[in-house]
Amino acid sequence: MPVQVLGDVLSVKRVGAYLSMTVIAPGIAELTRPGHFLAVQVGGPESSMLLRRAFAIYDVKDRGVYGGTVEFVFAVHGKGTAWLSSRRPQDKLDVVGPLGKPFRLPTTGVNATLVGGGYGSAPLLPLATALRERSCRVDMVLGAGSADRLFGLLEAKRMAASIAVTTDDGSVGTTGRVSDVLPGVLDKCRTDVVYACGPMPMLRAVAAVCAERGIPCQVAVEESMACGIGVCMTCVLPVIGDDGRTRMARSCVEGPVFLADRVRWDDVGSVPHDTVGALGRP
């Protein structure tokens, strides 16, 4: 059950090309599982920006000096995130969370490979902790455009049995994309399950690699949202349901985590003709 909290900003840190913000938000930390996200109001109470910005939750602390805190990572893309980057400790921030369906965890110790693109690694780091608590082997593949856009590399190194890094410009690790090195990692690590978070083209490529090998894969998708709570119907994508039929699923409440083989990757952005309720169907 999500809550709306007007919390104090505790810290804003620069991490490479990104910013990491921690907010005192009692009630959110206790309920958060890896894969949940936050919806953050930007611009203050008189803002001309009406819509919340959604960010995957990176870290939570449900006790300590400040009570419950929640941390998320973001990049400055537009006016809303620019405003967010100018917040300072003790500024107020209106946050709603935890939102969405988190990653599903295996019940037994399996070999899990976690694939993160850019700051998509943020929710994978607490996931790695949760998987290790369940006696899973965790291997990680992190990729980004350049070295400064890799998030959580040191932390990942501490937790993962192995780590592979790719950058588009070759500034660190293998030059190329995560999907270039993923097949080798899956074979070498005898991977049973894959978890991925990052930009849609990356998720699509990871899903294709996993489908080829028949490895179950969960992805946390990035769709633009207006509300984050399931009422606006803007963050939809075509997803195949348990009944085999495709529906336009809301990534905020039915996701953001989906089984990769249920997402109609070729049709994201459109409404496939066989979608339930598609126009032109008899």
The phi and psi torsions of 47 (rounded to 5 degrees) equal: -60, 145
94 scored as a contact of other proteins (CB under 8 A): yes
82 scored as a contact of other proteins (CB under 8 A): no
1 scored as a contact of other proteins (CB under 8 A): yes
Task: Indicate the Cα dihedral angle 143, 148, 154, 160, nearest 10°.
Answer: 0
Tokens 């985590």 — which residue? 257
Q: Which is nearer to other proteins, 52 or 149 (CB)?
A: 52
- In terms of residues, how long is the chain? 282
The two three-digit tokens of residue 142, written as one number: 């992190």
149 scored as a contact of other proteins (CB under 8 A): no
DSSP string, 188-247: HTT-SEEEEES-HHHHHHHHHHHHHHT--EEEE-----SSSSSSS--SEEEEE-TTS-EE
Q: Which is nearer to other proteins, 91 or 155 (CB)?
A: 91
15 scored as a contact of other proteins (CB under 8 A): no
Least separation in angstroms between residue 224's CB and other proteins is 6
Give the residue, chosen from 15, 130, 172, 253, that forms a contact with other proteins under the rule CB under 8 A.
253
230 scored as a contact of other proteins (CB under 8 A): yes
- Nearest CA to 41 out of 68, 61, 15, 23 is that of 23
229 scored as a contact of other proteins (CB under 8 A): yes
Q: Which stretch binds other proteins (CB under 8 A): 64-72, 172-180, 212-220, 273-281?
A: 273-281
Give the residue, chosen from 22, 41, 113, 166, that forms a contact with other proteins under the rule CB under 8 A.
41
